[in-house]
Amino acid sequence: MLGVSAMGGLVLISLSLCLISGEAVDLSEKSQLLELKNAIVDPHNLLSTWKSTNPNHCSWFGITCNLHGRVSELRLPGGNFAKSGSCFSSKYSDLALHGFGIVRDCSSFKKGKSLGGKLSNVIGKFSELMVLSLPFNQIGGELPTGIWGLKNLEVIDVEGNSMTANLSMIDFTHLKNLKVLNLGFNRLFGEIPNSLSDCQDLSVLNLAGNRIEGIVPAFLGNFVKLKGINLSLNRFMGSLMDGFWSNCHVLEHVDLSSNFLNGKIPKSFGNCSKLRTMLLFSNSFSGNLPFELGNLRMLEILDVSRNNLGGIIPTSIGNCLNLSILVLSTDFSDHHRDGSIKDGNFFESSVPLQVAMLPNLKLIWAPNANLDGEFPRNWGDCQALRMVNLAGNHLKGEISGVFENCPNLRFLNVSSNRISGVLDEKLHLGSMTMFDVSRNLMFGSIPEFTIAPFCGLNSLHRFDHETVYLSYFAHKSRLENHLPFSRFTRAMIHDFSDNNFTGSIPLFPMISEFTSLGRTGIDYAFLAGGNMLSGGLFHGNLSKICNNLNGLFINVSNNIISGEIPTNVGVNWKCLKFLDASKNQISGQIPVSLVNLRNLTVLLLNNNQLSGEVPLGRLDLKSGFKFNFSFNNLSGSIAMDRDAINCNRLIGNPLLRRCQFVSLSSVPTQEPWAVGLESLNSTVSSNSNGGKKGMSSFELVLIIVPSVIVIILIALIIVYLYLRKRKPNSAVSGSSAAAGMSSRPPPPPRSSGQPEPLVVFKEIGVELTLDSVVQATGNFTSRNCIGSGGFGSTYRAEISPGTTVAVKRLTIEMCQGLPQFNAEIRSLGRIRHPNLVTLIGYYASSSEMFLVYNYLAGGNLEKFILERSIRVIGFKILHKIALDVANALYFLHDQCKPRILHRDVKPSNILLDEDFNAYLSDFGLARLLDDFETHVTTGVAGTFGYVAPEYALTCHASEKADVYSYGVMLLELISDKRALDSSFSSQENGYTIVSWAVMLRQEGRAQEVFAAGLWEAGAEDILVELLHLGLQCTAESVAMRPTMRQVVRKLKQIQPASEC
């Protein structure tokens, strides 16, 4: 009995100890949670249950405990959670392929409510914690180091906060059980450490949206359990080994987009048999698409746009039977009408038939990708097909009958190709929000398209990875169209422009179909300019349709439309917002009801045969109504108040009093409502081609003859005044020259009395001669000198009142080779780019040589940087300057034939105008003067501090040497230091702004790089991106430097907000 009693006592004691221990643990973790709460800012009182009076901490909001009462899970998703899409159901159990993270438990989600403050290092004391999930809050500060010692952790999910950490310094060796590492969209920097390779159970890795750099470690391709990896929107560089993906048998999602990766796309991607999404866009991958991609039978999304890929599109992609999204290029520049430089892939094949026939294909996007050959005729059972964009290529053939079995097709753009044939009336145009066949070779009539089942603008209501692409491209394409659509309304755009279509304008049955199904409040655009359409402009009654339309936009300019405008147009076409019917044969009067349409904002009727009085109505400037009635037979009288009506929009109406003698040179061609007046100064001819009629001979005589007489009289007066003003001897007297000249002698006097002309590449309205330029510079006197450099001195020269140029007098003694110099300089004179200083002309002889450039009043960038301390300069201006210079170098490196290396990029060679637009000067001079002796030219052109190390050592120049110089300039632009700043004098020899910036970044003091006020003004992420770009450009390794093409792309990606 005694033994039993003793045993019972021991049990009681043990139980008591366990209870005391449990209570102690309970109290310990409770106090730790309260300490955690104290560091968190909780404006919405989400942690109201976290209080000492609540005894059961396992019941607190966001807390889950294990069987031992220890905290095992901390889940506190923030108010921006819904934006990630991860709260939506997905057919994939472990991965939300449309987002950047994992599928999360949304039970504790509080919409619109987030936590702030910091995450206390006390988190490291929860030794049994398995899940740490704090996504999409506003938590900042350092990522606590205590996390990396929690051996039981399986999930770390802090995506979408503002936490900082040097990833290189994190030790992952204790996290053997880690399955999910989601640090996306924070402020991490550094490189991926080798210790991460110890996390062999990792299934999801998301580091997107940080500032992580270095190479992508090879061990990431050996994680056998990895299902999703997202490294997008970082600064990874280098290439991936061909065998990178050796153990990717369960991998479903890869996103390496928006980095600086180069080299070829690894063939080993073909080993990833379960891969569903593959996003590689916005890198610098080159070479061909691997044939092995055809092994990816489960692939759904493939986006390789904005790389440097080429070659043939592999037919093996046709084996990817689940492929729904295929993006080969995303060039939205509309055939680069603005002169911008093409940036993207450049293939050498057509769209393989095997790809077009993919049964689940929903979107194929490949504009301006250099595709050629026949347009695919067979798109298989295209029930799923939604969007096709093959614009701006070289495809030929017909599209008639191709898409009639594709009832869900709502976006078709095959513009700017060589498509011929007629349109098929069975095409379901009423279902298409975008239909664009413009700038092709099509003919026949525009049919009255048949009614078909509508498959809807409202069908994009799901949130999945396919819809993200479909919605984005639809939105982007609408923004690219310059019609004044209402901002918040849906739009349908049907574009037939610039073909050979004949017949009459259809009565828009596609609108009838659309509105009959109750789809109201849309904008509809019918664009058919530049064809041979005939018949009347307004026929039929659209009053019922107009009740359901927000606005109607019509462009039928440059056709042969005739007849009169009906007087009741204001009733039947009340939804009309935009009408361009210019360059036709429309006659009769302009109805007052048309001008007074309440919704009409733009009316272009110029170059027709309209007569009668001008309907004044809303034509005053204050109304905001844009019109152009020029070159008709309108009559009447306009009041002399010039503010009442802009007569430039009524020019060419000889019977119209007061407006018939407006100067041709004053026509505002930049306005969209001045369509048709672009070349008014050089040609006012009628469009007789193809039966199109413009102005009559009588009209031409009335306009041209008085104008020519006036111009001749003005020219004679100017010449007379100029000759009176000139001295008989144009040479400056010896005494005056000696007072203002440098040691170089003035140009010798000439015996001939005739002015010696210059070679002129661009007319400036004043004749340039040797005498006039020398005289305008004061015989190259020092008072007119505005800069000096290795190639010579630059002088300000006012050739005539209001006409000022910059003259660079080359410091070179020409003994021979003048013909070669002439040939070289003439090639430079043909170069034009918006960010290059324009070479107007030059003079070269055995005794004198100078170049004439356009004059820029803003000075150079060197002066701008020096004066920045005395004036406030916003980051937006600095970004603009950086991008302007990058565009100029990109043009010289990639677009010039032959290409040009600048070899002396520095702030003093970058000029600014009064709006801070930047222009690169002295381009081509280093190569031009290589063969001629000067007092500064040796083996290396350039300026110390800006010269790339390899160029200084080997005298071998390359594009990457210019990139280095650009990087130095960029560091100067964002800091308050010069390349060889005086503050560096205490350092060792060779210490430059590059050494200084690298040191500050390595020590975690990046904010000290930036000029006073920049960092404090906000946009820190963008500033650090710019700093990183400058350091990439100045990397010692030539291979690690980006090309200027990549620099331009990166600068466009980090575009500052408008208020910066």
**Is residue 974 within 8 Å of residue 1013, measured between CB atoms?**
no
**Is residue 477 within 8 Å of residue 525, measured between CB atoms?**
no
- What sign for the dihedral angle of Cα 87, 89, 92, 94? positive
**Is residue 800 within 8 Å of residue 772, measured between CB atoms?**
no
- Can you tell me the distance from the alpha carbon of 336 to that of 367, in angstroms, rounded to the nearest whole number? 11
Identity of residue 477: S
The continuous run of DSSP H or E covering 363 comes out as strand 363-365
- Can you tell me the distance from the alpha carbon of 149 to that of 173, in angstroms, rounded to the nearest whole number? 9
Structure tokens at 254: 């890869």
Q: Is 640 exposed, middle or buried (0-12, 13-18, 19+ CB in 10 A)?
A: exposed
The continuous run of DSSP H or E covering 17 comes out as helix 2-38
Q: What share of the chain is helix, strand, coil (3-state, %, to 5)?
A: 30, 20, 50
Tokens 């050959």 found at: 373
DSSP 314: P
DSSP 118: B
Q: Is 36 exposed, middle or buried (0-12, 13-18, 19+ CB in 10 A)?
A: buried
Q: From the candidates 157, 331, 523, 904, which is the catalytic residue?
A: 904
- Can you tell me the distance from the alpha carbon of 835 to that of 832, in angstroms, rounded to the nearest whole number? 9
Strands 910-912 and 418-421: unpaired
Widest pairwise Cα distance in the chain: 142
- Can you tell me the distance from the alpha carbon of 410 to that of 387, in angstroms, rounded to the nearest whole number? 6
CB atoms within 10 A of CB 801: 7
Identity of residue 513: E
Nearest to 431 by CA among 491, 516, 510: 510
Quickly list H helices, 919-975.
925-928, 949-954, 959-974
- Can you tell me the distance from the alpha carbon of 692 to that of 559, in angstroms, rounded to the nearest whole number? 7
808 annotated as belonging to a binding site for a ligand: yes
**Is residue 585 within 8 Å of residue 565, measured between CB atoms?**
no
DSSP 392: T
Strands (DSSP E) contained in 199-295 are 204-206, 211-215, 228-230, 235-239, 253-255, 260-264, 277-279, 284-287
Cα dist from 437 to 196, 337, 392, 441, 670, whole Å:
52, 17, 11, 9, 26
**Is residue 906 within 8 Å of residue 923, measured between CB atoms?**
no
- Can you tell me the distance from the alpha carbon of 1009 to that of 189, in angstroms, rounded to the nearest whole number? 16
| SS3 sequence of 412-423 | EECCCCEEEECC
Q: Tell me whether residue 904 is one of the annotated catalytic residues.
A: yes
- Can you tell me the distance from the alpha carbon of 740 to that of 843, in angstroms, rounded to the nearest whole number? 21
876: Cβ contacts below 8 Å, ≥ 6 apart? 1056, 1058, 1060
Strands 211-215 and 235-239: parallel
- Length, in residues, of the chain: 1060
- Can you tell me the distance from the alpha carbon of 302 to that of 330, in angstroms, rounded to the nearest whole number? 13
- What sign for the dihedral angle of Cα 868, 873, 874, 879? negative
Q: What is the DSSP string of 883-914?
A: HHHHHHHHHHHHTSSS----S---GGGEEE-T
Nearest to 628 by CA among 692, 557, 696: 557
Query: Annotated binding site, which residues?
Result: 808
Annotated catalytic residues are: 904
- Binding-site members for ATP are 808
